[in-house]
Amino acid sequence: MTSQQTTLGEDATTAEELAEGQREISIAEFFEKNKHMLGFDSGARGLVTAVKEAVDNALDATEEAGFRPDIYVEIREVGDYYRLVVEDNGPGITKEQLPKVFGKLLYGSRFHAREQTRGQQGIGISAAVLYSQLTSGKPAKVTSRTQGSADAEYFELIIDTDTNEPEIQAERTTSWDRSHGTRIELEMEANMRARAQLHDYIKHTAVVNPHARIELREPGLDEPLKFERATDQLPAETKEIRPHPHGVELGTLIKMLGATDSYSVSGFMQGEFTRVGKKTADSVIANFRDRHFGRELGWPARNGAPSADVEADIEEALRDAISNKGADATDTFAERVANSLTERERTSYTQLVDIVGTVADEVGTETGKTFGTTVRENAVAAAWAELTQFGTDEEGDEFDRLTPTLHELVDDATSTRKDDAAVHGLAERLAQRFAGDDEPNRMRFTLSELKTLVDEAGDATEEYDDETFGDTARENIVESLWERMVTVPDEPPNVDEIAGDRDTASELLEAMRETDILAPPTDCLAPITEDLVEAGLRKEFDADFYAAATRDAEVHGGDPFVVEAGIAYGGEIEAGGTIQLMRFANRVPLVYQRGACATTNVVKRIGWRNYGLDQPGGSGMPSGPAVLSIHVASTNVPFTSESKDALASVPEIEDEIELAIREAARELKSYLNKRRSMAKRREKQDVLGRILPQMADKVAEVTGREHPNIEGAMARIMNNVGVDRERDGETVRLSVENHSDRGESLEITEIVSAEPGDLPDGVDAIEMDDEWFLNWNPDVDSGETIELEYSLPTDADADATVDGVDDEKLTVNA
């Protein structure tokens, strides 16, 4: 029969012919055809992305050099294209490095650095150059002057997409009015349809970088947009850290093992990872031993039998195992080993080896007899056989030291008390499997091996005794046994051996992840801080209320991160629609893909009604005149794509975002509650203000007495703090009466038109422009009245201003 292969025909393409069409693709060529992945998917967005990449580079460069950023952005229409110019006052770029920085993708100094930076991949600004040359066919024009240089360097360059290398089209030295810095000029197909997003990016950058000065000029603007500094304080300097053991994956670990200069696991752990010292390395190695070698089960010598009988049995077994050492030396050796074993709660095989070795050395020194390796091995075998007797002897008598111990353990580990016969059956079947027929049987098992043995014994018990031991009971038995077992002292394999064996490397990785290790240091991060988050909001938003929160550092995948939140409310912020959400990562605004961002998802799932904001349906974006700012600072921000527009949904980061938001929102809730309370007081006070004067007039008319003190009555009814002035000739009394239910601290300034006299201690008078200012700061407890008395000419005027108490809680008649 003709095979199917022979019927394909002589024109079929061969593997060799297919191979001729295969070649390596450069990263530049890849992104030439996939520029949308970098955020250059349209003329409108491409312009915003190019501005973003250039400004981010400028901010990083200036901060790293210790300069307060002064950044200039200009957009101009040039025929069919737009020209983008971005200048900074950074340290400049050397002549040798400049072409690669702007003309080679994936070229940078930050990719391998574990510290907070805006850019890491070395794609951003070179991608903008690539987009520019693809859409306009024109080179990027770069001018850079390093600090202290007499001239600047000027380059015109494009990216050779076949080789991902810069192609320099012009190069010369030139003069420049900046003493140091960098300027890049790009022409590209673009439009201003994303003007709102561009302005958002610049404004939000100013908010989250309050130490920067930014100026934007663009077509259609009568005046440039200028964003001044709110502080001269630069972000804290960051330090690069080594990887953290909890964030390493298996392939990376194997690579690190192959590259390290360390020979031992301890040296490798301490030399290649952060937060690992000798003690932590020892803990990792102990966990590694458990996985690689297993733990050993220990057994009691007494096990319910009289200690004298057990000790005698062990001594007899040891004497039978030793020959040619003399009666005295043999008896002494046997007695001491047996005594040591009966005094211990339990003994494992390795521990027995140590005991026999120690006693052999002691007795050898005392008696002059040599207890060599063979003697010691025979002694260990004899003593271990006594500790772990299981089975029958030559006469058919049963010897079982294992089952009674396991019976007690199984009985304690099962939450639901089983029938004693069933417990005994499971214990006996476990003993059978532990006894085994290995030589020597050290009863050493890994956790997975131990689980298998327990499952086998449980299945056998169910099959023959019709008694069920469920998953929970089996897990409890395994846990109880594992806790009794001891870590062995065997030396772990060296680094080269582990690197060459994937399974062993996996065991080391599991040991690292299980070990409690301090979180990575946070000096690799530079969060904005609460004060500057609030300062940034105050600088750009005229609001009635501000709050900010900076969380403590947490860890995701071995990378530390910090989340910060800020809220501005009321004032000039627009009240219509949903709140304004500003998302940031490493001080960079995230302008696009808001709906795909983890930050947005967290905001939507919070119940904002609890914090005083409207939220139709109880979920989704809240409504109100508010701005919410969220900043995530990390050594490795998990973006959803190369365009770095949205945060991935990482549970640890989402939890911290929610906690930061709630922390700031609680302050907003207090403010809004207080504001509502004050509004009710004002309403009540307004009503009383209209009614009481009419009542006072009627009372005075009917009784024929003086008009009553309305202000005093108002203060008492409203539970306010009342401030009242009385004058008797030249004597002036200023009294403060606290009708509220809490103590108050007031700041009272009495402004008088003539020099006051007879001032009490602690009250000073300061003259300014023919007026005297008396400063009085009384603390008034609830229900207390305090007076200030001084003298003043009868023709002099006096007026008081009161601070320290809300206007709604204050009644002033002075």
DSSP conformation letters of 418-484: PPHHHHHHHHHHHHHHHH-S-SS---EE-HHHHHHHHHHHHHHHHHHH-----HHHHHHHHHHHHHH
Q: What is the pLDDT of residue 393?
A: 57
- 538: enclosing H helix or E strand: helix 530-540
Residue 79 predicted with pLDDT over 60: yes
CB 560 within 8 A of CB 554: yes
User: Is residue 109 very low, low, confident or very high in pLDDT (cuts 50, 70, 90)?
Assistant: very low
Distances (CA, A) of 332 to 312, 336, 352, 622: 13, 6, 17, 84
Report if residue 634 sits inside a domain: yes
Torsion of CA 495, 499, 503, 504, to 10 degrees: 0
User: Is residue 707 very low, low, confident or very high in pLDDT (cuts 50, 70, 90)?
Assistant: low
Q: Which residues on adjacent β-strands are paired with residue 766?
A: 773
Question: pTM of the entire structure?
Answer: 0.65
User: Is residue 38 very low, low, confident or very high in pLDDT (cuts 50, 70, 90)?
Assistant: low
Over range 725-741, report the average pLDDT.
Answer: 87
Q: Which among 753, 793, 743 has a CA at the least distance from the CA of 774?
A: 753
CB 520 within 8 A of CB 558: yes
Over range 88-104, report the average pLDDT.
Answer: 88
Return the ∠ at Cα 708 (arms to 705 and 709), rounded to 5°.
155
SS3 396: coil
Residue 1 predicted with pLDDT over 50: no
Question: Looking at 14-23, 160-169, 222-231, 269-278, which range is the least confident one?
Answer: 14-23
Report if residue 702 sits inside a domain: no
Residue 304 predicted with pLDDT over 60: no
Report if residue 549 sits inside a domain: yes
Whether 289 and 435 share a structural domain: no
Whether 34 and 145 share a structural domain: yes
Q: Which residues on adjacent β-strands are paired with residue 801?
A: 749
Residue 70 predicted with pLDDT over 90: yes
What residues contact residue 691 under an 8 Å CB cut-off, 6+ apart? none
Q: What is the pLDDT of residue 21?
A: 56
Distance CA 589, CA 205 (A): 6
Whether 99 and 204 share a structural domain: yes
Over range 98-106, report the average pLDDT.
Answer: 81
Report if residue 425 sits inside a domain: yes
Question: Looking at 61-65, 171-175, 257-261, 373-377, which range is the least confident one?
Answer: 61-65
More confident residue, 455 or 813: 455
Structure tokens at 70: 């002064």
Domain boundary among 199, 227, 255: 227
Distance CA 225, CA 228 (A): 10
Is the omega angle on the peptide bond into residue 91 within 30 degrees of 0, that is, cis?
no
- Max mean pLDDT among 16-25, 147-156, 432-441 falls in 147-156
> % helix / strand / coil in the chain, to the nearest 5?
45, 20, 35
Binding residues: 57, 88, 109-110, 119-126, 644
Q: What is the pLDDT of residue 739?
A: 83
Q: What is the pLDDT of residue 121?
A: 45
Q: What is the pLDDT of residue 246?
A: 87
Residue 494 predicted with pLDDT over 50: yes
Half-sphere exposure of 362 (CA within 13 A, CB side): 12
Q: What is the pLDDT of residue 110?
A: 46
Q: What is the pLDDT of residue 142?
A: 92
Helix axes 420-435, 447-465, angle to 10 degrees: 130
Whether 639 and 778 share a structural domain: no
Residue 156 predicted with pLDDT over 70: yes
Question: Looking at 206-220, 697-711, 763-777, which range is the least confident one?
Answer: 697-711
What residues contact residue 609 under an 8 Å CB cut-off, 6+ apart? 615, 618
Question: Looking at 179-188, 462-471, 790-799, which range is the least confident one?
Answer: 462-471
What residues contact residue 277 under an 8 Å CB cut-off, 6+ apart? 270
Distance CA 411, CA 403 (A): 12
Whether 258 and 307 share a structural domain: no
Half-sphere exposure of 153 (CA within 13 A, CB side): 18
Question: What one-letter code names the amino acid at 338?
Answer: A
Strand 70-78, strand 213-217: pairing: parallel
User: Is residue 305 very low, low, confident or very high in pLDDT (cuts 50, 70, 90)?
Assistant: low
Question: Looking at 77-81, 255-259, 455-459, which range is the least confident one?
Answer: 77-81
Distance CA 601, CA 643 (A): 19
Over range 519-528, report the average pLDDT.
Answer: 83
Give the residue numbers spanning the domain of 737: 716-813
Whether 425 and 374 share a structural domain: no
Q: What is the pLDDT of residue 632?
A: 93
How many Cβ atoms sit within 10 Å of the Cβ of residue 63?
Answer: 23
Domain boundary among 479, 514, 549: 514
Q: Is 466 left (phi over 0), alpha (psi -120 to 50) or beta?
A: left
SS3 142: strand
Q: What is the pLDDT of residue 630?
A: 95
Q: What is the pLDDT of residue 204?
A: 87
Count of helix runs (H) and strand runs (E) in the chain = 23, 29
DSSP 7: G
The rounded Cα 157 to chain-centroid distance in angstroms is: 41
Q: Mean pLDDT for the chain? A: 85
SS3 121: coil
Burial of 692 (0-12, 13-18, 19+ CB in 10 A): middle
Whether 138 and 170 share a structural domain: yes
Report if residue 703 sits inside a domain: no
Structure tokens at 808: 């709604």
DSSP 297: -
Please state the length of the chain: 814
DSSP 611: G
Report if residue 140 sits inside a domain: yes
Q: What is the pLDDT of residue 597?
A: 93
CB 230 within 8 A of CB 539: yes
Report if residue 234 sits inside a domain: no
* CATH code for position 773: 2.60.40.2960
Q: What is the pLDDT of residue 141?
A: 93
Distance CA 677, CA 456 (A): 70
Over range 263-288, report the average pLDDT.
Answer: 94
* CATH code for position 47: 3.30.565.10
Whether 375 and 404 share a structural domain: no
Report if residue 281 sits inside a domain: yes
Whether 266 and 407 share a structural domain: no
Percent of the chain with pLDDT over 90: 39
Distance CA 27, CA 154 (A): 26
Q: What is the pLDDT of residue 665?
A: 92
SS3 233: coil
- Max mean pLDDT among 8-12, 130-134, 241-245, 508-512 falls in 508-512
Residue 205 predicted with pLDDT over 80: yes
Whether 333 and 372 share a structural domain: yes
Domain count, the chain: 6
Whether 267 and 301 share a structural domain: no
Binding residues for ATP: 57, 88, 109-110, 119-126, 644
Strands (E), 342-389: none
Q: What is the pLDDT of residue 575?
A: 79
Domain boundary among 385, 412, 444: 385
Distance CA 669, CA 514 (A): 41
Over range 296-315, report the average pLDDT.
Answer: 78
Q: What is the pLDDT of residue 770?
A: 81
CB 457 within 8 A of CB 426: yes
pLDDT in tens, 381-430: 999 998 998 876 555 566 788 999 999 999 888 866 678 888 999 999 99
Distances (CA, A) of 490 to 368, 496, 582: 31, 17, 56
How many Cβ atoms sit within 10 Å of the Cβ of residue 449?
Answer: 11
Over range 277-300, report the average pLDDT.
Answer: 95
Distance CA 404, CA 409 (A): 9
Measured distance between the N- and C-terminal CA atoms of the chain, rounded to whole angstroms: 118
Whether 206 and 261 share a structural domain: no
CB 760 within 8 A of CB 790: yes
